Structure 1
Amino acid sequence: MPARRPLRGRRIAALAADGFERVELVIPLRALKRAGAGVDVVSLRHGRIRGVNLHMPATRVGVDKTISETDPAAYDGLLLPGGFISPDLLRQSAEAREFVRAFAATDRPIVTLCHGPWVLASAGVLVGRTLTSWPGIRDDLVNAGATWWDRQVVRDGNLTTSRGPQDMAAFVPAMLEAFTETSPQPARTTADDESDPQRDAPSGLAVTALRWSPKPSAVALVGIGLVAAARGGSRGPAPRG
């Protein structure tokens, strides 16, 4: 197998929904395809799902298959990008949770970053595992039974995790290595390990981005009002006392 195409013949499922962090899906997709992998974007619905750059809307990515029409056994590994909206939607989907469990049960590589591990927590596959994530969800993962480390990349058996967009340069090579291996490394034992503490202040990356956010446009405000009005109307008139 050519060294420049180490993933030729491998199939990877990229599980994402609206609100995925754009760089956490688009950059890994490009790297996987350059390495020869076949990648399907799997989501909750057909069409094109909207990405975000931190909190601002970004470009869309086309969906190849919905979860309901996808067999997890057809894939050699799972990529789960972050962004705080996409994982929150996926963790509420019984189909998405079961999709993730299928990879965990067979020790196939699961690669995720940022808020992506939220889905793993809701799927119940983090007990005894060691990982990292966006620092803000550290407590959620610890409460789900995991050990959390504040590092660029953490490898634990078939699970590879990273903290977010700021670690992309380290994440992509680790992702390719995880998907290239023909058998997973042994899982860590966490009996004597302790989680790193929660940070004392939020990420400067997010705080700075919010500080310099543009003001909402009149069009956006009108759109939000129309959606709220439509939802209110769909519920019908309130019952009389």
Structure 2
Amino acid sequence: MSMPGALKVAILATDGYEQAELLEPKQALEDAGIAVHVISNKDGVIQGYRDSDKADTVSVDLNFSQAHPEDYDALVLPGGVLNSDAIRQLPEAQIFVRQVEAAGKPIAVICHGAWLMISADVIRGRTLTSYPSLRDDIRNAGGIWLDQDVVTDRNLVSGRNPDSLPAFNQALLAAIHHPAEPARWAN
């Protein structure tokens, strides 16, 4: 657990993350005085993308063997097709997501980031949005997919794509500051 009053959020990502979907939530959290750790399967830096073009790199704070879900108050899962397809295959990433979900802590997922939640088997019975191409994946995993910019279902905040980031960041901060609130729906 983090120190009282000192909130801490984990962002799980690897090479191929969609730059805006990692950097904008990270900045919104830091601007709110929340500590953020980028956690990955590798040390050093990870490569971001804007669509299919290489963008900036981000420093990794901890690798999965160093990070513990119980140390965080919330979790952010950015998208990016390459990132999402790679990270969903990592057992340690799946375990991290399952433990955060089991603790009922806020999880914010955007775009293709839902693939990790599907692989971690935490979508069943949950309502969320994503990039439209994941609609069938979410439904096949037992989830309910909505075609909205942002959806909040209990501790789960989901966003459709980078255009959803302003509303997504607002919903993420609300979920962190009011984690016990019942389901809210946002467009």
What is the TM-score with the length of structure 2 in the denominator?
0.93
Matched, 1:111 2:108: yes
Distance 1:70 1:172 in 2: 23
Aligned to 2:79: 82
Output one character per residue of 1:109-137: Cα deviation in whole Å (capped at 9) or x when no partner.
Answer: 00010000110000000110000000011
8 A contact 1:156–1:185 mirrored in 2: no
Aligned to 1:99: 96
User: Higher strand fraction: Structure 1 or Structure 2?
Assistant: 2
Output one character per residue of 1:77-101: Cα deviation in whole Å (capped at 9) or x when no partner.
Answer: 0011001111111110000000000
Matched to 1:61, the amino acid is V
Quote the offset at 1:179 in angstroms.
1.3
Matched, 1:186 2:182: yes
Aligned to 2:160: 163
Pair member with larger Rg: 1
Structure 1: unaligned runs, 5 residues or longer: 1-7, 189-241
Quote the offset at 1:186 in angstroms.
3.4
Q: Which of these residues, 34, 52, 56, is aligned with residue 53 of structure 2?
A: 56
Structure 2: unaligned runs, 5 residues or longer: none
Greater RCO structure (CA 8 Å; 6+ sep): 2
Distance 1:29 1:136 in 2: 25
Q: Which of these residues, 143, 147, 169, is aligned with residue 146 of structure 1?
A: 143
Root mean square deviation, CA, Å: 1.4
Structure 1 segments of 4 or more deviating over 4 A?
A: none
Aligned to 1:67: 64
Matched to 2:180, the amino acid is P
Work out the number of aligned pairs and report it: 181
Q: In structure 2, the residue corresponding to 1:70 is in which secondary structure?
A: coil
Stretch of structure 1 that moved more, 34-43 or 167-176: 167-176
Aligned to 1:16: 13
Does the C-alpha gap of structure 1 residues 187 and 176 become closer, same or farther in structure 2, counting only changes over 3 Å?
closer
What is the TM-score with the length of structure 1 in the denominator?
0.73
